[in-house]
Chain A
């Protein structure tokens, strides 16, 4: 990565980190969700600079177009008018502690794992992805649909319970 690519990559990284900070530091859930959306967009941009355009566009399709909207509906479901986040410091710290610990473990694991790295990112053909799904990775592929089924059934059951 060099020159303009590096510039764009760094800008996207900064935008991502900035949005992430805005998500957790904001007091308005609705705005936090929008910043979460802009964080996801920056990550999608990062995928594009890494030649993974399909992953990038799916990031937008599923996360920004789907998950963010879902969270917005979730807020509408749970928030009362004018409700703002004003948890006490102790409560914040009790949540922040375990989260920081988890993040630390994750970062340590990522830093110590030796990933296979390449100098030139190969542009992955989408057809190759399709072939891999149906040949080499057919079992994970089918398991994904079982997982989705579980999510769907769970959602329906929870929603129907609440209605009663």
Chain B
């Protein structure tokens, strides 16, 4: 019995169906819609003004910091879900171990909090 192989097949087929749906609707729309471009229409939309500045401005580090926080906590999640599944057949010791695991990470969160990294200045 290969079960996760069929999980994969299902995901594939769903992706194909979704792609086909979006593709077909866009294609039908392409057949029936009008097309009358002009330089003004194709200019970046900026409330009627001429576009100024860069289209892809350099951004601050805070976005990157939040993404890094996400990755760290995502990794934490990998370990917490198997524990959650087994939780009711595990004892108190396992709970203490997991509490320690989360506690260490919370130290990091507390550090970030104190340093003002969770602030959006």
Chain A residues with CB under 8 Å of chain B are: 5, 8, 45, 48-49, 51-54, 56, 58, 61-62, 65-67, 69-70, 73-74, 76-81, 123, 126-131, 133-135, 138, 141-142, 144-146, 148-149, 151-153, 155-157, 159-160, 162-163
Which of the residues A8, A77, A131, A163 comes within 8 Å of B59, measured between beta carbons?
A77
In the complex, chain A residues whose CB is within 8 Å of the CB of B75: 62, 144, 148
Known: A70-B64, A73-B67, A77-B59. Is A126-B82 also a contact (CB below 8 A)?
Answer: yes
Interface check B38, CB cutoff 8 A: no
Can you report 26 A-B residue pairs in the complex whose CB atoms are below 8 A from each other?
A8-B9, A48-B4, A52-B4, A53-B3, A53-B7, A58-B78, A62-B74, A66-B70, A69-B67, A77-B61, A77-B63, A79-B56, A126-B85, A127-B82, A129-B82, A130-B83, A130-B90, A145-B104, A149-B107, A152-B72, A152-B109, A152-B111, A153-B111, A155-B69, A157-B115, A159-B65
Which applies to chain B's interface (DSSP): helix, strand, loop or mixed? helix
Which applies to chain A's interface (DSSP): helix, strand, loop or mixed? helix
